[in-house]
């Protein structure tokens, strides 16, 4: 078959891609995955009895907004990486900003605390389970985000998978914030970041294989 004829046949079968398809698939992934994440956390940890009281503590909102900000940055990055030729550019700033902020707060808290209390600020009472809990809660969004990417056109599959993990990890951290008793900035900077990093690494590994064309 001649090259010109082959190109003509392929071009004849082209159909326009619906507008906002990327956004629609990603929002659908979040809409499906988030309720499962919330339900999973509820079954695993149960309701928090002092939640109303905790909502009056500033660090409760810092911790919650940290997870939300990471998840939002992940959403924007995934949205860009899902389309061929679209650069991430300033979306990286949306990821760096909450990380830098929580690390600055952690350093200030450690500097202001007596030397004998600094270890407690970092390790808290739940350091053994915090990261794993966030990763567990993030799993539904992780799976639905990969499903959304599979139906799109990422040209950098490992990076796109890592971004899906970032979206899932931030979402999981935000959901876990409603159940976690730890409020120290050094704890959040260490173990929440570690919990978010787990689906990011998993997404890079899985995405490199699953999202290849």
Domain assignment of residue 47, yes or no = yes
Average pLDDT for 4-31: 69
Domain assignment of residue 103, yes or no = yes
Residue by residue, DSSP assigns 12-50 as: HT--PPPTTHHHHHHHHHHHHHHHHHHHHHHHHH---TT
CA-to-CA distance for 51 and 179, rounded, in angstroms? Answer: 8
Domain assignment of residue 79, yes or no = yes
* pLDDT (tens digit per residue) in 43-66: 999 988 899 999 999 999 999 999
Reading the block at residue 69, the tokens are 């900000």
Q: How confident is the model at residue 3 (pLDDT cuts 50, 70, 90)?
A: low
Q: Examine the pLDDT at 166 and tell me if it is beyond 60.
A: yes
Reading the block at residue 133, the tokens are 């809990």
Q: How confident is the model at residue 19 (pLDDT cuts 50, 70, 90)?
A: low
> What does the mean pLDDT of the chain come to?
91
CB atoms within 10 A of CB 168: 36
Domain assignment of residue 6, yes or no = no
Reading the block at residue 148, the tokens are 């959304």
Domain assignment of residue 72, yes or no = yes
- Do 151 and 211 meet the contact criterion of CB atoms below 8 Å apart? no
Residue 7, pLDDT score: 47
Q: Which domain holds residue 195?
A: 20-210
Domain assignment of residue 3, yes or no = no
How many domains, the chain? 1
Q: What angle do CA 102, 49, 190 make, to 5 degrees?
A: 20
Domain assignment of residue 5, yes or no = no
Domain assignment of residue 4, yes or no = no
Q: Examine the pLDDT at 69 and tell me if it is beyond 50.
A: yes
Reading the block at residue 15, the tokens are 């159909």
Residue 106, pLDDT score: 98
pTM: 0.89
């Amino acid at each position: 078959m001649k090259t010109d004829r082959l190109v003509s046949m392929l071009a004849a079968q082209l159909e326009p891609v619906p507008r906002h398809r990327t956004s629609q698939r990603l929002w659908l992934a979040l809409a499906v995955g988030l309720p499962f994440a919330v339900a999973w956390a509820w079954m695993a940890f149960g309701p928090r009895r002092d939640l109303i009281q905790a909502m009056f503590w500033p660090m409760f909102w810092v911790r919650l907004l940290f997870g939300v900000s990471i998840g939002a940055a992940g959403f924007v990055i995934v949205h860009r990486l899902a389309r061929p030729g679209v650069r991430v550019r300033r979306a990286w700033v949306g990821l760096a900003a909450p990380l830098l902020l929580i690390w600055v707060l952690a350093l200030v808290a450690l500097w202001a605390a007596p030397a004998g209390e600094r270890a407690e600020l970092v390790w808290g009472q739940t350091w053994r389970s915090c990261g794993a809990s966030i990763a567990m809660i993030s799993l539904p969004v992780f799976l639905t985000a990969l499903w959304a990417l599979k139906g799109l056109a990422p040209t950098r599959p490992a990076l796109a998978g890592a971004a899906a993990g970032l979206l899932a990890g931030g979402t999981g951290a935000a959901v876990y914030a409603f159940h976690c008793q730890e409020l120290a900035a050094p704890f959040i900077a260490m173990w929440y970041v570690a919990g978010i990093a787990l689906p990011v690494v998993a997404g890079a590994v899985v995405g490199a294989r699953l999202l290849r064309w």
